[in-house]
Amino acid sequence: MSPLIDRFGRKHTYLRISVTDRCNLSCLYCMPEEGMKFMDQGRLLTYPQIAEVVRTAAELGISKLRITGGEPLVRPDLEELIVQLKAIPGIQEISLTTNGILLGPQAAKLKAAGLDRVNISLDTLDATRFKFIARRGDLGKVLEGVQAAAEAGLAPIKLNCVLLKGVNEDEIVRFLRLSQEQPLHVRFIEYMPIGHDDAGWRERYLPLSRVLEEAANAGLTVDPAGEAPAGSGPSENFRIRGGVGTFGLIHPVSNHFCSNCNRLRLTAEGDLKPCLYWVDELSVRPALGSSEAMRALFLRAMAIKPENHEMGALLAGEAQSHLPTGRRMSQIGG
């Protein structure tokens, strides 16, 4: 079977699968303050339908899967999907991105079902600030989820921190020291204008050059991480000298990594997205029941995938060549 190679020679081996647009938090960079209208649950792809899509994807060279949302752990019996996906020939790794609130009680059964590792969203280590960023929820539950993931063997554990100017940049050094003292892998992520280009994004956007500046100001010696943790993808990885964990920089706006993009996305209702940022989507529903039609759909995604997302051009006020998506991140799957 021909691998999934786009017009620019990029080979695709990675599929991110959203299982729901619902979330038990309402983070200020992901959802508007008034909240979201979630889709009717009958519109979600069923687990067998997702597995059908993945079987064709695996035949075409997809070997890595990431389960996302919304918050994927609000979808009931997620371990049943993981069992189905793990049994598909060619699938080598399944990971999960979660806010961690519901992870504690589920970590062990997810590991037993075949989940390999987790990324946990954690934008602050301060309980009061957590309420401001997430608008609800309990930081303690997230930290319990981190501990449960470690005990279940869901390693390496990555903590995803979206940096926001005027909100949490004063915690950069605290996160760096966390990676120094514990076997955790902190990944600082630039705030992206997914589904909205407004003053709020521009005012809170912070380039990740700030992280290395703060490390230097704190007297921390930073070295290249050497071998990166599994699934690091586009992260630029470092280690505080003598540290047991690592930290990474994911800067899609200031230094985009599109030239190495190897991923596709499947939304919760069944739309295949070649690029996170642009509006283009292809529904898999008409192809269900036909492996030939599904293969053609994946190849079509390769044919229409653009060279890059041009978020940096947006920040600079320059014209863009495509139409950005109107969907919020929770509606796409991060």
User: pLDDT tens digits for 67-102?
Assistant: 999 999 999 999 999 999 999 999 999 999 999 999
Selected residue with higher pLDDT from 37 and 319: 37
Lowest mean pLDDT among 175-189, 213-227, 252-266: 252-266
Quickly tell me which residue has 């954690």 as its tokens: 122
Sequence-ordered list of residues with C-beta below 8 angstroms from that of 314, at least 6 positions apart, any chain: 193, 197, 320, 324
Which pLDDT does position 319 carry in this prediction?
59
- The burial of 3, by beta-carbon neighbours within 10 Å (0-12 exposed, 13-18 middle, 19 or more buried), is given as exposed
Three-state secondary structure call for residue 203: helix
- Asked if residue 234 has pLDDT above 90, the reply is no
Amino acid at 81: L
- Specify the pTM: 0.90
Which pLDDT does position 226 carry in this prediction?
77
The pLDDT of 279-290, averaged and rounded, is 93
The pLDDT of 285-313, averaged and rounded, is 88
Domains and CATH numbers, the chain: 4-332 (3.20.20.70)
Which pLDDT does position 251 carry in this prediction?
75
Q: Residues of the chain with pLDDT > 90: what percent?
A: 70
- Asked if residue 16 has pLDDT above 80, the reply is yes
Which pLDDT does position 281 carry in this prediction?
86
Q: How far is CA 124 from CA 21, 213, 226, 279, in A?
A: 23, 19, 27, 31
Selected residue with higher pLDDT from 258 and 297: 297
Lowest mean pLDDT among 4-18, 34-48, 301-315: 301-315
* β-pair type (263-266, 14-18): parallel
